[in-house]
Amino acid sequence: MEEHGVTQTEHMATIEAHAVAQQVQQVHVATYTEHSMLSADEDSPSSPEDTSYDDSDILNSTAADEVTAHLAAAGPVGMAAAAAVATGKKRKRPHVFESNPSIRKRQQTRLLRKLRATLDEYTTRVGQQAIVLCISPSKPNPVFKVFGAAPLENVVRKYKSMILEDLESALAEHAPVPQEVNSELPPLTIDGIPVSVDKMTQ
């Protein structure tokens, strides 16, 4: 009787050990899969070098998207914003354009701080000349922010007027044809970007 009890206990212990081993294996597979996915994300560049952004796609993508089409129709600043949004969408990033100007300003401040920290780390760890350049070609006061490693930052600042001129002409090539004059009032704009009344919180 005792022998039967011992055999049964051994059998139960074997089953439990087998179950534990199976769980450990599942955890190992899950961890490996998660690690592989993370590694793949880290290895893949945000903008693959072999598929360069074709600016002729700006109009094609904006036509299908109401937000970017609305931006593109608002002049050079809106066109620049639409092209930037279209670039991000082409690279399949899960972000959307922030139409509320006060929230957009907060996002801009937060992301520029993040960019600066990333750039500082990059230049220090990798030892390459690198800058971040943010432009909004509004007239008469265009936004031209550049920061990063010297002397590259100073070189880019020196060519500010040339860069703005080239950007404006590149955007003008893709600007939508102006629509016929209608009786509607033009949209309200903040920093050159059209804003609906319900988004004007300040």
**Mean pLDDT, the chain, as a whole number?**
72
Is it the case that residue 45 has pLDDT exceeding 50?
no
Please state, in angstroms and rounded to a whole number, the distance separating the CA atoms of residues 155 and 159. Answer: 7
pLDDT value, residue 187: 65
Give the residue, 52 or 122, on which the prediction is more confident.
Answer: 122
Quick one: tokens of 98?
């922030």
Residue 153's pLDDT band (boundaries 50, 70, 90)?
very high
Residue 144's pLDDT band (boundaries 50, 70, 90)?
very high
Give the residue, 80 or 118, on which the prediction is more confident.
Answer: 118
- Residue 78: burial class (beta carbons within 10 Å; 0-12, 13-18, 19+): buried
The domain spans of the chain are 54-97, 100-173
Q: What 3-state DSSP class applies to 96? A: coil
